[in-house]
Amino acid sequence: MTLSRYATLGGSVALAALLAACDPADTVPDPQPEPVPAPEQMAEPETGADDVSADLAGEAEPVMDTAINGTDDAGVDAQPEAVMEAGLIESLSEYCGQAFEGEITSPPVELDEAFAGRRLVMHVRECFEDEVRVPFHVGDDHSRTWLITRLDDGRLRLKHDHRHEDGSEDTLTQYGGESIVPPISARVEFPADQFSKDLFEREGIPVSMDNTWIMEVTDTTFVYTLTRPNRLFEVTFDLTNPVDTPPTPWGWEDED
């Protein structure tokens, strides 16, 4: 009887212990996600090359927006101003009525003997909207006048008007050329035109058929250049120092 009671009592205690171990209050809770740290506590990410590129791209966006939207940072419309460089006729016309002395600035050669040692003067004598007439005086020789004319398509034409002292035309006259395209600056190249090539061939100087004449106005100079293979002739005139105007070029007295 006693042993049986203790057995029964022991079984009850064991059962109670088992029930206590299985108490829902002591159940292990399900794992919960770790709390996300506040933004100020987050570690700064390492900066790599891609991040730098992204940052630079981000900084450039306001500039792109300004260009696209046409506004500056203050919201004011910002329209680009078109800047047109003055052309050859316009640039020469600024000196209309004035004369300037020049000098040969190409290497001396025998072909230039007619110019060497003589006073060289250009005179911006007559100016029109689409034409400028510039006599080129070589000492007492007043036979040469440069004629620069704007064509209907915007290109420019250069002609060399050569006269004798009595005003009659020289055999070699009205030669020159036309710019390939309408010029966008005060520097223009004039390759020999067909009229000039035919003239040079007829007069026995076919080497001149490859002539290209160049005229350029800078802030301080006017440069006249003749070039072809194995030939360079260049005269540079000082536009900062006007000189006395020379006589009327031969054959143009009626224009006065």
Q: pLDDT tens for residues 113-156?
A: 999 999 999 999 999 999 999 999 999 999 999 999 999 999 99
Q: By three-state DSSP, how is residue 190 classified? A: strand
Highest mean pLDDT among 8-12, 33-37, 235-239: 235-239
DSSP count for the chain of H helices, then E strands: 4, 11
Question: What percent of the chain has pLDDT above 70?
Answer: 67
pLDDT at 75 over 80: no
pLDDT at 4 over 80: no
Categorise residue 51: left if φ over 0, alpha if ψ from -120 to 50, beta otherwise. Answer: alpha
Question: What percent of the chain has pLDDT above 90?
Answer: 65
Rounded CA-CA distance 215/193 in Å is 16
The mean pLDDT of the chain is 79
| Look-up of token digits 């004629």 | 147
Rounded CA-CA distance 253/255 in Å is 5
Q: What beta strand segments (E) does the chain contain?
A: 99-104, 120-123, 126-128, 131-138, 141-150, 156-162, 175-178, 187-191, 212-217, 221-228, 231-243
**Do 177 and 197 contact (CB within 8 A), yes or no?**
no
Q: If pLDDT is split at 50, 70 and 90, which confidence band does 25 have? A: very low
Secondary structure string (H, E, C) spanning 14-44: HHHHHHHHCCHHHCCCCCCCCCCCCHHHCCC
* 71-85, 111-125, 183-197: range with lowest mean pLDDT: 71-85
pLDDT at position 18, please?
Answer: 40
Give the residue-averaged pLDDT of 239-251. Answer: 97
Rounded CA-CA distance 38/40 in Å is 6
Amino acid identity for residue 38 in this structure: A
pLDDT at position 255, please?
Answer: 73
Give the residue-averaged pLDDT of 161-182. Answer: 97
Give the residue-averaged pLDDT of 87-110. Answer: 97
Q: If pLDDT is split at 50, 70 and 90, which confidence band does 29 have? A: very low
Give the residue-averaged pLDDT of 62-85. Answer: 45
pLDDT at position 253, please?
Answer: 86
Highest mean pLDDT among 1-15, 81-95, 162-176: 162-176
pLDDT at 164 over 80: yes
Q: What is the pTM of this model?
A: 0.68
